[in-house]
Amino acid sequence: MKNLLAVIAILFTQTGCAQNINDLIKKGNDAVNNKGTGLSNEEIIGGLKEALTIGGKNAGSLASKVDGYYKNPAIKIPFPKEAKDMESTLRNVGLGKEVDEFVMSLNRAAEDAAKESVPIFTDAIKTITINDGLSILRGSDRAATDYLKSKTENQLKIKFKPVIDRSVNKMNVGNYWKTLADAYNKMPFVKKVNPNLVEYTTVKALDGLFLLVAQEEAKIRKNPAAQVTDLLKKVFGK
């Protein structure tokens, strides 16, 4: 009984005095009897998977557009970090245009690969088992995304890498890099760098996709207009 009263008190504080007290009592009973959600485990798991599936599709669609990576500062793939000295040196000797073209080619490869990533992403979502669905539901705005990333990132990376490899070749990323590397390596006293462009682009592309999924998850949690199915409304609706 004390627990029920405590839940009612919290709900009463959050919703305001104008709300009908009978509604508050019903919500309080639901909170006590159904672990605070009034939902079955199947509904929670189904809702989370549905949210991630929709989020994954929306993220893939956003990322795969022209400039989906390149003109989104949050996910734009930069010049490889280990070659930062190389980037600044090349810009200082007037090769800024070539550097920019190389960076664009990396992002174009990621955008091209993102078109094929959606089925890979959604298949991974369908196969996960969420044992701690309640904690995810009650977690941060990206709790489901973080859980998905922790469980599927390695698997997605393995599947995604050949897609990126094809896109890197398609977008002539290697040729852009060779032009820059040849120019840089002719300079005296420089330390040669040769990053694995497929590995680098794969990691950055997946980081960007997960960030977009997290943004979609936050929308579904907060915005009723983004709760586009009955199950999403039931699980995430207020």
pLDDT of residue 5: 36
- Nearest-CA neighbor of 103 among 8, 217, 18, 200? 200
Average pLDDT (93-108) is 95
CA distance 104 to 7: 53
pLDDT at position 98: 95
The band of 10, judged by pLDDT with boundaries at 50, 70 and 90, is very low
What is the C-alpha separation between 24 and 19, in angstroms, rounded? 8
Mean pLDDT of 43-57: 88
Lowest mean pLDDT among 5-14, 55-64, 227-236: 5-14
Quote the pTM value: 0.78
CA triple 123-74-86, angle to 5 deg: 110
Mean pLDDT of the region 57-85: 94
Neighbouring C-beta atoms of residue 64, cutoff 10 Å: 19
d(Cα 107, Cα 198) in Å, to the nearest integer? 12
Phi-psi domain of 82 (left: phi exceeds 0; alpha: psi -120 through 50; beta: other): alpha
pLDDT at 20 over 80: no
Q: Would you say residue 149 has pLDDT above 50?
A: yes
Calpha distance 108→176 (Å, rounded): 13
167-223 residue pLDDT tens:
999 999 999 999 999 999 999 988 888 899 999 999 999 999 999 999 999 999 889
**Helices (H), ranges, 16-142:** 21-33, 41-64, 84-92, 96-127, 133-137
pLDDT at 74: 97
Q: Is 234 left (phi over 0), alpha (psi -120 to 50) or beta?
A: alpha
